């Protein structure tokens, strides 16, 4: 650019210095523009660039982390096929049903119980009374962990009443949800020592993006998953942080493989557990500043538009 001379007459030494100076400024400006646009960033490819114009009606792939207070309930939709991961406490069921209905959902293609604690399965009976699943999935877990709670009994009765096809899954199992490939990363086996560490961990790949849903997996299960699955499978665009952002989860070894670009944490306002932990937020911030917390931002909706290969997050805000 600077070598292309505009004039035929020889340049004075002052002019050459001036041209070099302009050239340096131009190169600096172009470099800054390229860096800002992410051209030289390998961690955040442009295909996942945020695009604030994408709405729920454009996005072929959607993740709705529903604000259910202290608990989890996450709607995943791929090409119109739906998966509800957990249904929070019983007290949140009416919110979940109205949320699903507002999305035009009257039947689920699949429902998943990540593990058998009340803040994940408590709402299923009331949800299934209105919105039935065609299939129900659970993790495998050992008999000694079978809960003796009323919540679990009601959950079993509700699943049976739906007549849904039922499956207990573990690492390596896979199924299709619309154009999305759902792969089970955990539990690795039925031998985990706690229900949290038997959590169903799902990897969902749709087009260029990967989302990971961890239930209440804690560091021991993270380590088991790391030592079992191909770690290149763990790199994710979106991560639902384990165990409501507790310091028992989202360990550095796990996050180092996931390198999330977007993170959602589902927890209640002023919850008695102090979720999310400051230390966990610090670990996550090493990878992204796009961390969304239901207790602060309400419903968190992650959207992916296949045509433009870009993402957006919309939050409802708190009432
Ligand atoms: Zn939980």
Read off the pLDDT of residues 271-294 as tens digits, 9 standing for 90 and up: 999 999 999 999 999 999 999 999
Q: What's the gap in Å between 122 CA and the centre of ligand 1?
A: 11
Distance (angstroms) between ligand 1 centre and the Cα of 84 equals 15
Q: Are residues 156 and 250 both part of a single domain?
A: yes
Q: Are residues 231 and 187 in the same domain?
A: yes
Residues 263-299 as b or e (16 or more Cβ within 10 Å = b): bbbbbbeebeeebbbeebbebbeebbebbbbbbbbbb
Are residue 5 and residue 53 in the same domain, yes or no? no
Residues 25, 51: one domain?
Answer: no
pLDDT at 32 over 70: no
Ligand 1 centroid vs 289 CA: distance in angstroms? 24
Q: How far is the CA of 152 from the centre of ligand 1 (A)?
A: 14
Distance 312 CA to ligand 1 centre (A): 26
Digit-coded pLDDT (tens) for 169-194: 999 999 999 999 999 999 999 999 99
Distance 225 CA to ligand 1 centre (A): 19
Q: Which of 50-59, 64-73, 206-215 has the lowest mean pLDDT?
A: 50-59
Same domain flag for 35 and 76 = no
Binned at pLDDT 50, 70 and 90, residue 58 comes out as: confident
What's the CA gap between 176 and 81, in Å, rounded? 10
Residue 149 CA to ligand 1 center (angstroms) comes to 15
Q: Are residues 85 and 145 in the same domain?
A: yes
Looking at the fold, whether 16 and 95 belong to one and the same domain comes out as no
Centre of ligand 1 from the C-alpha of residue 189, in Å? 20
- Number of structural domains, the chain? 2
Q: Which residues are CB-contacts of 257 (< 8 A; sequence separation ≥ 6)?
A: 226, 231, 234, 235
Nearest to 239 by CA among 221, 253, 254, 225: 254
- Give the pLDDT confidence score for residue 52 in this predicted structure: 84
- 23 and 134 within one domain: no
CA 230, distance to chain mean position in Å, is 19
Which of the two residues, 11 and 287, has the higher pLDDT score?
Answer: 287
pLDDT band at 12 (very low <50, low <70, confident <90, very high): low
Q: Which of 71, 122, 73 is nearest to 98 (CA)?
A: 73
Residue 11's domain spans which residues? 1-40
Higher pLDDT, 281 or 21: 281
Q: Report pLDDT for 42.
A: 41
CA of 217 from ligand 1 middle (Å) equals: 9
Query: What Å distances lie between residue 20 and 1, 9, 15, 28, CA to CA?
Result: 11, 18, 9, 12
DSSP E strand stretches across 232-294: 238-240, 262-265, 291-293
138 with 168: CB under 8 angstroms? yes
Q: Is the peptide bond before 187 cis (omega within 30 degrees of 0)?
A: yes
Phi then psi for residue 263, to 5 deg, are: -130, 135
- Tokens 């989890």, located at residue: 72
- CA of 88 from ligand 1 middle (Å) equals 8
Cis amide bond preceding 50, omega within 30:
no
Task: Please report, for the domain that includes residue 151, its CATH number.
Answer: 3.60.15.10
Is residue 107 predicted with pLDDT exceeding 90? yes
Q: Looking up tokens 């593990």, which residue turns up?
A: 115
* Per-residue pLDDT at 213: 98
The encoded tokens of residue 263 equal 């993170």
Instruction: Say if residue 14 is in the same domain as residue 123.
Output: no
Read off the pLDDT of each residue in 19-31 and give the average, rounded to a whole number: 67
Question: Does residue 29 sit in the same domain as residue 84?
Answer: no
For residues 68 and 123, give the distance between their C-alpha atoms in angstroms, rounded to a whole number.
10
pTM score: 0.85
What integer is the mean pLDDT of 268-273? Answer: 96
For the segment 63-84, the average pLDDT, to the nearest whole number, is 98
Listed residue (172, 169, 82) closest to 127, CA to CA: 82
| Two tokens, residue 282 | 């610090």
One domain for residues 34 and 65: no
Dist. CA 234 → ligand 1 center (Å) = 22
Residues 106 and 125 placed together within one structural domain of the fold = yes
Distance from the alpha carbon of residue 184 to the mean position of ligand 1, in angstroms:
19
For residues 96 and 87, the answer to whether their CB atoms sit within 8 Å is: yes
């Amino acid at each position: 650019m600077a070598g292309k001379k505009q004039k035929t007459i020889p340049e004075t030494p002052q002019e050459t210095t001036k041209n070099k100076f302009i050239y340096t400024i131009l190169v600096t400006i172009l470099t800054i523009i390229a860096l800002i646009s992410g051209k030289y960033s390998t961690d955040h490819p442009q295909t996942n660039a945020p695009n604030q114009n994408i709405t729920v009606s454009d996005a072929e792939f959607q993740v709705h982390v529903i604000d259910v207070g202290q608990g989890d309930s996450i709607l995943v939709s791929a090409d119109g096929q739906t998966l509800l991961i957990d249904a929070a406490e019983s007290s949140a069921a009416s919110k979940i049903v109205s949320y699903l209905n507002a999305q035009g959902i009257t039947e689920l293609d699949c429902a998943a119980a990540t593990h058998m604690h009340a803040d994940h399965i408590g709402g299923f009976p009331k949800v299934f009374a209105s919105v039935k699943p065609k299939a129900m999935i659970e993790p495998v877990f050992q008999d000694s962990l079978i809960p003796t709670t009323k919540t679990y009994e009601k959950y079993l009765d509700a699943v049976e009443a739906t007549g849904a096809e039922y499956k207990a899954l573990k690492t390596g199992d896979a199924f299709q949800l619309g154009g999305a490939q759902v792969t089970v990363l955990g539990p690795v086996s039925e031998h985990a020592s706690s229900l949290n560490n038997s959590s169903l961990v799902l990897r969902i790949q749709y087009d260029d993006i990967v989302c990971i849903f961890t239930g209440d997996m804690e560091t021991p299960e993270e380590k088991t998953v790391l030592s079992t699955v191909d770690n290149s499978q763990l790199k994710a665009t979106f991560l639902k942080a384990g165990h409501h952002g507790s310091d028992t989860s989202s360990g550095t070894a796990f996050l180092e493989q996931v390198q999330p670009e977007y993170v959602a944490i589902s927890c209640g306002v002023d919850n008695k557990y102090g979720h999310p932990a400051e230390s966990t937020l610090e670990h996550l911030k090493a990878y992204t500043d796009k961390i969304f917390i239901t207790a602060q931002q309400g419903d968190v909706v992650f959207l992916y538009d296949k045509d433009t290969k870009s993402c957006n997050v919309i939050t409802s805000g708190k009432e």
